[in-house]
Chains A and B, each alone.
Chain A
Amino acid sequence: MSISREEVVHVARLARLALTEEEIALYGEQLGRILGHADRVTSLDTEGVPPTAQAIALANVFRPDVLNEPAPCLSQREALANGPAVEAGHFRVPRILEDGDPSGEEVAEE
C-alpha cells in the first residue's frame, strides 16, 4: 500500500510539521510499508472485542481538596524560565489572528 502525496501533506499539516519534498516522498513510502505490515491487525475480525486504552486501569483518582494545601505548582518565574521569547510575564508568540485564517505552510521553503 502507499500513501498519496496529498494525504502526506494533509497529515503533516495536522501535525504542524513543515516537511521538505524529499521528506514527503520518503514518509509516503515508509508509512505505506509500515501500515501495509499492519494489515494482519487491521484485517482481523474483532467483532465484540472491547478496546484497551490502558492495561492497568484505575477509576476516579481523587485527592482531598484541602484549604491552604495547594497542589505542587511552579512559580510564574519558573514557568517562564525556559520560554524562547518572554515579555511582561507572558510567553510572546507571533500573531495568531489576522485577516483571514493563518493557513500555515504545507511544504517547507528550501
Chain B
Amino acid sequence: MSPARPLWTSTATELIALLRSGELSATDLTRSLLDRIEEVEGDVRAFITLTPEVALAKAKAVDDARARGEDPGPIAGVPVAVKDIIATRGVRTTAGSKILHNYVPPYSATVADRLEAAGLPMLGKTNLDEFAMGSSTENSAWVPTHNPWDLDRVPGGSSGGSAAAVAAGEAPWSIGTDTGGSIRQPASLSGVVGLKPTYGLVSRSGLIAFASSLDQAGPFARTVADVALLLGVMAGHDPRDATSLPNPVPDYSAGLAGGVKGLRIGVVSQLMGEGVQSGVRTRIEESIALLTKLGAEVGEVSLPTFDLGIDVYYLIAPAEASANLARFDGVRYGLRVDAEDIVKMNSRTRAEGFGAEVKRRIMLGTYALSAGYYDAYYGKAQKVRTLIIRDFARAYENYDVLLSPTSPTTAFGIGEKTQDPLTMYLSDVCTVPTSLAGATAISIPCGVAPEDGLPVGLQLMGKALDEATILRAAYALEQELGPMPHPLLWGEPS
C-alpha cells in the first residue's frame, strides 16, 4: 500500500487483503475510519447515530480471534454503515422519524445479525428520508444529508446517508433499503455502486416496513466486486420472513470476470426519452458503445407500460405504507401525545410524529384503499403491475439484461424539489419498474456529466434471482471505464 494514500480511500477488497495478511488490524482500520468521519461528517451529515464503541468492540473481537489463530470469517474486520431503518438491538433506530425518536429495538434485523456474524464493525446508523419515503434524504426528521460531490446538492434518497457515507470515504461499504429505487438512485447521484436484490433474496425481518411487497435491503460500495461480496453476506433464506426465498445463494464473486461476450442487452427506449439530462444521455451512450466493443449484443427494446411505472408505484407503495404505519399509534413504542381518549391520542401522536411527506403518503394510500375507491385506484394499480411484469417477460425473450440511466438527472440542489411532490416522484421513473416486478438491478457510476461535473449512474436490470449476470456485466463495464473521478471532498485526486 502506498503510504501517500489514506486508508479510507481503499476498497473493501483491498482492506480485506491487508487484514488477512496481518498488515492491518481491524481496530486500527476502525479508528482510522472514525477519524475520517470526524473530519468530514460536519459537512456530509451521513449519520443519525454514530456507534464508535460498538464498532471498536467488534473490531477487537475480530483482532482477538485472529491473534488466537482462529478465522473470524473471510471479510471480517471491514467496517460498515447501516441505514437507520434496520433494527439494531440496543442501538437507537429512528427510521428518520420523530415518531421513533427514542426507539431502541429489543432485537436485531436478520441483515444486522448477518453483518455481525460476518465480523463487520458497525460504524453507525445512516440518515434517510423518513420511513424511506423520498428521493433526496431531505425528508429526514433530523438533518438533510449533503452530497460529497457538491455539498449544496442532495445525495439522492431514501438511502442518501448510506450512499454519501461511502462516497465521502466514511465507510468502504454500507447497507440501504430499496422500495422504488432507494438504493439505486442515491448510488447514482452520489457516484457509488448500489444493488437492489430480488424480492425475497434478503430477509425483511427487522426492517421497519414501508411497502411490504416491495421493500428489499441491499449493499452499497465503491466497486462492483465489493457489492458482490457484501450481497453474499446479506442474502439467504430466513425462517423469520415468510416471503424469504429458500433458494441457495450462489457465490456472487466467482463469476464476476466472465465478461459480456454474447450477452444480449436491451436498452429500454421509454427510459431514454425526453426527460433525460443531456450529459446523462452522453455518458450512457458511451457505456453502451463500450459494452458493444466488449462483445455484448446491444439492441433497443420498447416497453410501453414502463411509462406507467411511477403512477402504479405511487398508488401501491402508499397504500401498503398506510397499512404498515398504522402501528405507530403511541401505544407500544415511540412518541405519545396524551389526550383524553384513545382516538385523539392516536391522531395527535401521528400528527405530531410524522413529517409532511409521510402524512401525504398515508393520506394518498388511505384514499386509494378506502371504500368506493379501492377498485379504481389500488385494484387498478395491481392489474397494471401485472402488465409491467408481462412487459419484462416479453423483453427477456430476446435479452438477458436491460439497460437504462438510473436517474434521468444528476444530483439536484437541496430544496430544489421539496415544494412539488410530483416532480420529486418523477425522479424514480427508471427504478420503479424493477421494484414492481420484484426483480433485481444495479447502478454503477459511468462518468460525470460534462455540464455539471456530477456523477451519472447506469442501471442494469436483471431477471429475478439473476444477480450474477448483472454483476458480471457491471464488472465488465466498470473495468473498461477505468478509474472514475472522485468527489470534491476527497481533496486532491489520488
> Is B239 close to A, CB under 8 A?
yes
Does the CB pair B348–A108 fall under 8 Å? Answer: yes
Q: Is the CB of B341 within 8 A of A41?
A: no
A61 contacts B by Cβ under 8 Å: yes
A-B contact count (CB 8 A): 193
- Chain A, interface size: which category? 35 or more
- Cβ B239 vs Cβ A31 within 8 A: no
**Chain A window 43-64, contacts with chain B (Cβ cutoff 8 Å), 1 for yes, 0 for no:** 0101001111111101001010
B351 and A18: CB pair below 8 A? yes
Bound-state CA distance A96–B329 (Å) is 14
Residues A44 and B345 in contact, CB atoms below 8 Å apart = no
Query: Could you tell me which residues of chain B, from 288 to 320, have a CB within 8 Å of some CB in chain A?
Result: 307-308, 310-312, 314-315
A96-B342 in contact (CB<8A): yes
B387 with A95: CB separation less than 8 A: no
Interface residues of A in 5-46 (CB under 8 A from B): 7-8, 10-19, 23, 27, 30-31, 33-35, 37-38, 40-42, 44, 46
Determine if B331 and A83 form an interchain contact, defined as CB atoms under 8 angstroms apart.
yes
Q: Which residue of A lies closest to B312 (CB)?
A: A41
B336: chain A residues at CB < 8 Å are: 84-85
A82 adjacent to chain B (CB < 8 Å): yes
In the bound assembly, the distance between CA atoms of A50 and B359 in angstroms comes to 30
The CA of A33 and the CA of B424, in the complex, are separated in Å by: 13
Chain B facing A: main interface SS: helix
B interface size (C-beta, 8 A): 73
A10-B367 Cα distance, complex, nearest whole Å: 9
The answer on a CB contact under 8 Å between B198 and A42 is: no
B184 interface residue (CB < 8 Å to A): no
CB distance from B57 to the nearest CB of A (A): 21
How near does chain A come to B114, taking the closest CB pair, in angstroms?
15
A42 touches B376 (CB 8 A): yes
Complex interface bits, B75-100 against A, C-beta within 8 A gives 1, otherwise 0: 00000000000000000000000000
Q: Which residues of B contact A16 (CB under 8 A)?
A: 326, 329, 343, 346-347, 350
Q: Assess whether B239 is in contact with A41, with CB atoms less than 8 Å apart.
A: no
Please indicate the chain A residues that have their CB under 8 angstroms from the CB of B117 in the complex.
Answer: none
Q: Are A49 and B383 in contact (CB under 8 A)?
A: yes
Interface residues of A, Cβ cutoff 8 Å to B: 3, 7-8, 10-19, 23, 27, 30-31, 33-35, 37-38, 40-42, 44, 46, 49-56, 58, 61, 63, 72, 74, 78-79, 81-85, 91, 93-96, 98, 102-105, 108
